[in-house]
Amino acid sequence: DRSKIRSAYIMCGYGNIAQEVAKKLIKANFHIIVIDKLNSRIEKAKKDHNSIGGVAFIKIKNIFKNLLL
């Protein structure tokens, strides 16, 4: 149940390196939140980790553009 997650690692982006880091964190029983602007990467994260508790997925459009303003 995601409402019971008190702390988590936030993965900003889900590229090749983040995918490997996520695997290691989950294997070590850490919770993660995956944030990415590309729907394809969110779908990949869901495919990789959806059956595991403690994983949340967020798609954010134009996050990087808004942060630069």
pLDDT computed for residue 12 by the predictor:
87
Q: pLDDT tens across 6-63, in order? A: 678 888 889 999 999 988 988 888 888 888 888 888 888 888 877 666 577 777 665 5
Q: What is the pLDDT of residue 69?
A: 46
Q: Does residue 2 carry a pLDDT above 70?
A: no
What are the angstrom distances between the C-alpha of 56 and each of 37, 46, 68? 14, 9, 25
